[in-house]
């Protein structure tokens, strides 16, 4: 029995040729290929915002928090259901992530809960585009304006999506994308920060290269800075030409990738629409390009369903354990909506290479198992 993967990259000859081209050029570090990807990403987003490519999506988040000057004593509001990277990116600066409740229908940051967590130390809010959805961002920006906060959108899962009819990333304060091996497009690893703040963009460019001032311009022309100055904390977070070459090949495939992911999500929704055992989250698959497909099942059945699927060669996941339940971020306070969601969430296979016959097998096993359970 073949194993149905939860997620995987879709790469082919184009990516191999792109890597070979960079290998033949002989310079694998950050250079013109990275600059070209940044330009192409900016065009794909249809924005004048600046795009700064980095080594990972987590590096993008860390740089965003760091380059805003946040540190010990400062607080950032973050939904508790997100990958731990969101929280670790904040603590890496010395600032404190404040775990907020989520909404039951979208697993998005609950702004009513966030409101009561605002203090004089709150400096930013980091909404997470859970399962690629960011449809409630207008309310987040109104909240941020009311409290004088910067907005760092954790858009790790939403490259290629739209919001209010335009590309996610075309507008906004600061957005952080991920291009790791299983995202909507991949660079193998990689990420990007997008911002319309020119001063912040320059700090980000310098900080990704260990704080060496204006080194980006040298790298793009195939040179290095030898007589330079450093005045701020920096990190080795730049993207390499090899990664950018893969990303450029992937970006050209995004329209096909996006349609395939949406088509698979629509098939799932149609299959589960009449089920009382499977509850769907409230997402618009005409606007988003789903990175993961998440459903809710009765808490008493979720783990048994996961075991059943794995026993039948179907990978599944749980996105994510609430961060306030992790030892590092525990504060002793319950978040009942998030905890109830965590007990019910299960992610089903979704990737460009998923065949419809494989998806039908997933659907059949999910519905067949739940029909035989007393609590479904």
Which residues are catalytically annotated? 183
**CA 349, chain centre distance (Å):** 17
Omega before residue 80 within 30° of 0, cis:
no
Which DSSP string do the residues of 272-323 spell out, in sequence order? HTT-SS-EE----TTT---SSEEEE--HHHHHHHHHHHHHTTB--B-----G
| Closest among 126, 103, 140 to 283, alpha carbons compared | 103
Q: How far apart are CA 230 and CA 51, in angstroms?
A: 22
Q: How far apart are CA 129 and CA 131, in angstroms?
A: 6
Q: How far apart are CA 31 and CA 237, in angstroms?
A: 14
What does the CA dihedral 335, 340, 343, 347 come to, rounded to 10 degrees?
A: -100
Structure tokens that stand for 82 in this block: 């997100």
Q: How far apart are CA 167 and CA 184, in angstroms?
A: 14
Cβ neighbours, 10 Å, residue 283: 20
């Amino acid at each position: 029995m073949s194993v149905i993967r939860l997620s995987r990259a879709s790469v082919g000859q184009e990516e191999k040729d792109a890597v070979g081209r960079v290998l033949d050029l002989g310079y694998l570090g950050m250079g013109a290929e990275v600059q070209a990807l940044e330009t192409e990403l900016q065009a794909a987003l249809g924005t004048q915002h600046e795009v700064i490519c980095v080594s990972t999506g987590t590096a993008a988040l860390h740089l965003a928090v760091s380059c805003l000057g946040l540190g010990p004593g400062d607080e950032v509001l973050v939904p508790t259901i997100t990958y731990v990277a969101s929280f670790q990116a904040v603590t890496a600066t010395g600032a404190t992530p404040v775990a907020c409740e989520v909404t039951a229908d979208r697993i998005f940051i609950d702004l009513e809960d966030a409101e009561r967590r605002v203090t004089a130390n709150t400096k930013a809010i980091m909404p997470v585009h859970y399962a690629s959805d960011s449809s409630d961002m207008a309310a987040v920006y109104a909240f941020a304006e009311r409290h004088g906060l910067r907005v760092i959108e954790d858009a790790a899962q939403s490259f290629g999506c739209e919001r209010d009819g335009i590309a996610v990333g075309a507008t906004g304060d600061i957005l952080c994308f991920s291009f790791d091996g299983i995202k909507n497009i991949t660079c193998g690893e990689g990420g990007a920060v997008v911002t319309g703040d020119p001063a912040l963009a320059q700090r980000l460019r310098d900080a990704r290269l260990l704080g060496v001032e204006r080194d980006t311009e040298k790298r793009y022309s195939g040179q290095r800075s030898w007589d330079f100055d450093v005045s701020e904390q920096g990190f080795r977070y730049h993207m390499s030409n090899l990664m950018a070459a893969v990303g450029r090949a992937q970006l050209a495939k995004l329209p096909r990738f996006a349609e395939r992911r949406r088509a698979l999500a629509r098939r799932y929704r149609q299959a589960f629409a009449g089920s009382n055992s499977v509850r769907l989250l409230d997402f618009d698959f005409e606007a988003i390009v789903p990175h993961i497909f998440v459903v809710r099942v009765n808490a008493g059945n979720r783990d048994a369903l996961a075991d059943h699927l794995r026993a039948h060669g179907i990978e599944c996941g749980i996105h994510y354990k609430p961060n306030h339940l992790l030892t590092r971020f525990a504060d002793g306070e319950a978040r009942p909506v998030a905890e109830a969601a965590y007990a019910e969430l299960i992610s089903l296979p979704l990737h460009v290479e998923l065949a419809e016959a494989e998806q039908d097998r997933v659907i059949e096993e999910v519905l067949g198992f739940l029909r035989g359970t007393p609590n479904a």
